[in-house]
A and B are shown apart, each in its own frame.
Chain A
Amino acid sequence: MIWGVLQFPGSCDERDAQNACELAGAETRLVWHEETDLSGIDGIVVPGGFSYGDYLRVGAIARFAPAMNAVADFAAAGGPVLGICNGFQVLCESGLLPGALLTNESTRFICRQGDLVVGDADSPFLSGMSPGETLSIPFKHQTGRYFAPPEMLEQIEANDQVAFRYAEGQNPNGSLNDIAGVVNEAGNVIGLMPHPEHAVDALTGSTDGLKLFRGPARVEA
């Protein structure tokens, strides 16, 4: 499997995402934000960071990057797309995922190891996990409060589109329904605020993040 890892100016977790994909047994290629040819790529990671500085609204400029048009086509064709942190924000801005990310209730950046609970969503990314399973993954963001209008939220819940929730009492930002990550209706696009790419080595805290990167390859096989 070959993962394409997008690189916007201001991305900062793209090398960690590459490292995670490779530890999960895949090959990777950095995809520059101006590229539009994704041929040969089996999955896309939109990594964390501060695309274009995020001085406007998070992810608001990145959604217009030429590479994101190609990602939209890739997703529409059923290709697996994983958005982490800023990548999640970009996917929401692009309309590939429902909802929006708002500034943390504390207005501060937070970074701490925490527990994620796997939801009921049906997605190749979750294929190696069971609903209710707990993963130890770093939480790390300033704009991670998941929000959706009541009707949309109801629909997301009804459709089982919640991929991850913060474990009880650990919601770091005020996200509605403790939502930490969601999938699209088809299940091939997933976004989450916590950082599975930083949880791939026991030495640095946990290896639980690897499960997410192995998911699509497992389904493919």
Chain B
Amino acid sequence: MAKHRELGLTDAEFDLILEKMGREPNGVELAMFSLLWSEHCAYKHSKKLLGKLPTDGPRVVMGPGENAGAVDIGSGWSIAFKVESHNHPSAVEPFQGAATGVGGILRDVIALGARPIAILDSLRFGELDSERTRYLVDGVVRGIGHYGNSMGIPTVGGEIYFEAPYEQNCLVNAMCVGIARTDEMVRAAAEGTGNQVVLFGSKTGRDGIGGASVLASAEFGEDDEGKRPTVQIGDPFEESKVLECCQELLAADLLVSLQDLGAAGLTSSAGEMASAGGTGIDIDVGKVPLREADMEPFEIMVSESQERMLAVVEPGKVEEVLALCTKWQTDSAVIGEVTDTGSFRILKNGETVGDIAVEDLVDGCPLYDLEPDEPAEWIYPNYVTLREGADASEITLSLLGSSSIASKRWAYDQYDSVVGSRTVHRAGAADAAVLNIPESDRAIAIAIDGNGRRVACSPRLGTIEATLECAANLACVGAEPLGVTNCLNFGNPEKPTVAWQLSQSIDGLADACRALELPVVGGNVSLYNETPTGPIYPTPVIGMVGELPDPETCAGEPWRDGDWIALAGPFNPSLAGSELEKARGQLGKGLPEVEIEPARAAIELIRESVRAGTIRTVTDVSDGGVATVLSELALGSGVGCKVTLDPVIVQRDCSEEDALFGEGSGGFILAGDRQSIELLGGQGVQIEMLGRAQGNEIRIQAGDTAVDILVAEAKASFESLAHRIEL
């Protein structure tokens, strides 16, 4: 096979390279092209679509194109955040794949000059009865904990879903949130001819070669074991030193710009720095500190060794920079210079071994139009896990114990959630994580969401729902959303069905963000999540950051005996795409239409009520429907409830089963004193009083159907997952 094809370039792309260069690329140059022209680096199948997303807003400090996005939270402080995938490395080597996924997203935030203060993870695995799934879960959870815990960054939230289409291709998306003084943030652009390029952090080794092209931008096949060497090895100790070193370098104002080395290593970091600065750059591979002395120039240029940073430094400050690196016991070297040539030159001890125009390398990759085609039928398999004829009580217990709904405390307990002393709501404790930000006299809330199954039913509506759910989660703690990051996990975009899923999903994201007036400030696209058995569920993972004025008033309290319970919002329950439909093996295409404006009004009402302190118990209706949410609230507080859903059936014109187990956007369950709840009525948001919190039973009446279970039974079911996962 021709060399360029082995490296993942098509014949047409190779011809374009020949045309642009006017000659054959040598080995170093070809390797560099193959990586920067990979899907992972060039977004060649998604860039045109991503242009539809709104990216501007009054609070945006850094938008797409920087290492991470950032929004202003006032008092001179900004919050930087980004989510990124490490799916294929984690599927091949779960512990290191997940660990380096965390390490990489931390560096993106560190590169802005921010100090990371929180990590969240969005994980997808196959069903738990698979041995491979249990192996992946164990490794991924340990890997995330290993890296974040060692770094002293709290993991404060996340979500874990188990669905068969992720069996061979798990998803590991990590989100990092950091804090920085707005006027001290740094950009990644290389500026100033004659400025020096300093590489610091870990030595460069042979790990991770071809990660972005061979591993991340290709489907999985049968020889995946052979791809283990393309996975990098994480060293959180090194990153911890690099973090503190960066903080000192920036505090001393020693850097012109800073960039982390991620996918495609030096090639992408140096190339993108030069591109952003409109300059040229020389890199001498002979000066790069190496783990193995005999590395080839191309290996040095594409190595994805972790824990490395690249900085542009004025010549007069180089000595001070190197001295600080020495203090933090981290390797450092001047490896190049910013030039005015517009060329990315690779030298080896002064001799040129590669020379590419920065523009050709970074922006020259052709962008493709997709050929979307909506599949006529549901393309994913269905499995029955619920006994036929199960009554409402049995269904409720079964849903509470189902892998995606049941408690994930067994995972969250393995993560340090308290380091930093900011964590007001820990993972699983409320709808969104809440972190205290005394620096700016306020708090932030963070949510991450994306139900792939519902997106599979309707890519556009499912994505709108995921975005609304994030905003609803923030509202439940009183936070106003400021910005969005996303990680778009899809199959092979060259296939029409996947192309349709991707384009529909991005349309949905754009619509929802525009309606909520929310800018998308950064993100990541992960395509080719596909194995010989088919693509994963299309899974856009939405990360959202919001602010709240007072961390003392952020709800999340359990309901109390005697509290009144109500349903609020334009919730229109339907079994389409629901957990119950999944359990019955009846999943199919389509979701009911989502009305964004009424949902937005409900979100705002809930947010203001939480802020005012009139609501202390509130959660949005999501997986498993109203019966499941009520049961979760009951088992969380230890107090049962006696409610009737008859007003819901009447007001929302739905069936008994829809009222109990139907899903959809825009619903909130709230509890508190009757007067406070009644005061919420008449403000343009639909509200039905359902009953009261009391006793040790969960009794939910819906017409002639009833759920009647003990709180203790619900709790046992909800906490059953840890045993089933064999912890």
Q: Which residues of A does B touch, CB under 8 Å?
A: 9-13, 15-16, 19, 49-50, 52-55, 106, 108-112, 138, 140, 142, 195, 197-198, 200-201, 203-205
Contacts and interface: CB of A to CB of B under 8 A. Distances in A.
Nearest to B149: A109
A185 B593 CA distance: 71
Contact of B414 (A9, A15, A109): A109
Contacts of B418: 111, 138, 140, 195, 198, 204-205
A8 to B, nearest CB: 10
A52 B237 contact: yes
A197 B416 contact: no
A108 B142 contact: yes
B551 A203 contact: yes
Contact of B421 (A16, A50, A112): A16
Interface residues of B, number: 33
Given A15-B420, A108-B142, 12 more contacts: A9-B241, A10-B150, A11-B152, A12-B152, A13-B419, A49-B152, A53-B236, A54-B237, A109-B146, A109-B416, A200-B421, A201-B421
Contacts of B551: 203
B420 A16 contact: yes
Most chain B beta carbons < 10 A, residue from A11, A106, A108, A109: A109
11 contacts: A12-B152, A16-B419, A53-B235, A108-B414, A109-B416, A111-B412, A111-B416, A201-B421, A203-B436, A203-B552, A204-B418
A197 B421 CA distance: 8
Contacts of A204: 418, 421-424, 436
A110 B142 CA distance: 11
Contacts of B569: none
A111 B415 contact: yes
B145 A109 contact: yes
A10 B240 contact: yes
A13 B151 CA distance: 10
B328 interface: yes
Contacts of B145: 108-109
Which of A19, A49, A54, A197 has the most chain B CB within a 10 Å cutoff?
Answer: A49
Nearest to A197: B421
Contacts of B413: 110-112
B329 interface: yes
B417 interface: yes
B439 to A, nearest CB: 12
A144 B146 CA distance: 15
A17 to B, nearest CB: 10
Contacts of A12: 150-152, 240, 419
Interface in B140-164: 142, 145-146, 149-152
Interface in B363-377: none
Given A9-B329, A53-B236, A198 B241 contact: no
A187 to B, nearest CB: 28
Interface string B421-453: 111100000000000100000000000000000
A205 B236 CA distance: 27
Contacts of A54: 150, 237
Top 4 closest pairs, chain A to chain B, by CB: A12-B152, A53-B237, A198-B418, A50-B150
A55 B241 CA distance: 15
Contacts of B150: 10, 12, 50, 53-54
A205 B418 CA distance: 9
Contacts of B419: 12-13, 16, 140, 198
Contacts of B421: 16, 19, 197-198, 200-201, 204
A10 B436 contact: no
Interface in B614-643: none
A19 B414 CA distance: 25
Contact of B236 (A50, A108, A140): A50
A11 B328 CA distance: 12
Contacts of A201: 421, 436
B548 to A, nearest CB: 12
Nearest to B329: A9
A187 B150 CA distance: 30
Interface in B147-186: 149-152
Contacts of B240: 9-10, 12, 50, 53
Contacts of B423: 204
Given A10-B240, A198-B419, A204-B436, A111 B414 contact: yes
Interface string B381-420: 0000000000000000000000000000000111111111
A13 B424 CA distance: 17
Interface in B45-99: none
Contact of A140 (B151, B237, B416): B416
Contact of B237 (A10, A110, A111, A205): A10
Given A19-B421, A108-B142, A110-B414, A13 B152 contact: yes
Interface in B213-271: 235-238, 240-241, 244
A58 to B, nearest CB: 12
A109 B424 contact: no
A54 B534 CA distance: 42
A9 B328 contact: yes
Contacts of B328: 9
A70 B12 CA distance: 67
Given A53-B150, A201-B421, A203-B552, A9 B416 contact: no
A134 B436 CA distance: 26
A117 to B, nearest CB: 20
Interface string B528-568: 00000000000000000000000110000000000000000
